[in-house]
Structure 1
Amino acid sequence: MGWLAKRRLRTGPTAALPAKPDRAELLRVVRLADPDAREDGGDIVAADVRVYAPVEAEPELVGGELEKLWACRVAAEGPLPFDYFDRYLAEGLAFRLGGLAVCRGEVTDPSDDGHGGGPAVVLPARPAAEELLELLEGEVEQEEEFVFNAGGIRVLVVPEKGQPPAAKELLPFASELTAIELRGDDQAKLGALALSLAESLNGLAVDRWRFRVDSAEDLLPPT
């Protein structure tokens, strides 16, 4: 691998994976972020962002954290559907496939809860506070108009920034694209609540990188 290719991987965003991903599996995971993602030669294109075919790279890319690694560089080729979608795509891929993320020379572990964030429910319109209160379980405290604490889970209702491709099915019905952000220590518990709210409010559960969540286990690092 030439020095320019190595530099591009270090600059990223890059998903550094412990094994070469199966092509079909890589496409499946990318389609959690954009259901219309398509193959283009050996690459995958999702919402004008190209996920390059995995290449074998040297462990120094991640400071020796992985003995062997395959790198998928991510590059925007047009306007992003929301800020940092290319970085989120690399980090989400790394999380789902048990790897690390590299961006501007910095190596991060997406499975590290210390980075904050949690799942969310994307809705086509802002729900009424009373409607949301009825769906929250346990002892519920309303801190502000759209900020709640329910059984140790912090619930925030905020405008959704941009248009996540995973939620494009909601766009024809959207009057005010909204996110219910969930924060807490138990990711499985957060995931269960996100899925429950999504079903009740006709929304879509996503992780913090805006990949679709189909089960609470999707928020746990692969074993």
Structure 2
Amino acid sequence: MAVQISPSILSADFARLAEDVARISDAADWVHVDVMDNHFVPNLTLGLPVVEALLKHSALPLDCHLMIEDPDRWAPAYAEAGAGSVTIHAEAAKAPVRTLRTIRAAGARSGLALNPATAVEPYEDLLGEIDMLLLMTVEPGFGGQKFLDVVLPKVRRARQLIRNSDSSVWLQVDGGVSDETIERCAEAGADVFVAGNAVYGKDDPAESVRALRAAAERASTT
């Protein structure tokens, strides 16, 4: 598995987003953008206008994670704006297949996210419709939460489902990923890692990204 690191700007300085994105541009693979609407999750962050502005200044592709109600309506616009990846929540989507196909048709990678208590097995048949499966390792809505080890068995099951389907779907984990937890995630089968405080809470975000990548690569080869 090729390890990818997607730092979350939820932990960056919102007044200096372009600069904080630039700080990790030589080390990261993606910029993870958490879009929250204060309805699907109890927090309000940023939306399409900020994404459009970031696209003009980011050397990295944007990995947009939509924690919003009615993603069927709003998700295509993020792909059309130029996001490299757009992920919707299974718990919020009413027409996931149509929406995932629309995201792909607009030129972005399609992602499906599952909350910690949402089983992965019912979505096995959708693996052909997605490019990435995101398993939340905290309850969505806020950064800085403690990693939920209870999700690790689900990560292992998801990796096995992906192997069984003979697909190239990426397996992303988001929430509480740090130098203390990333190895467990990689051992379980994740290959794309979202990290917020573990990157932007350090003096040198780029070096933190490199350290996280090295830890994940060590674990994924053991």
The normalised TM-score by structure 1 is 0.27
Q: Which has the larger radius of gyration?
A: 1
Question: Which structure shows the bigger proportion of residues in helix conformation?
Answer: 2
Question: Which structure shows the bigger proportion of residues in strand conformation?
Answer: 1
The normalised TM-score by structure 2 is 0.27
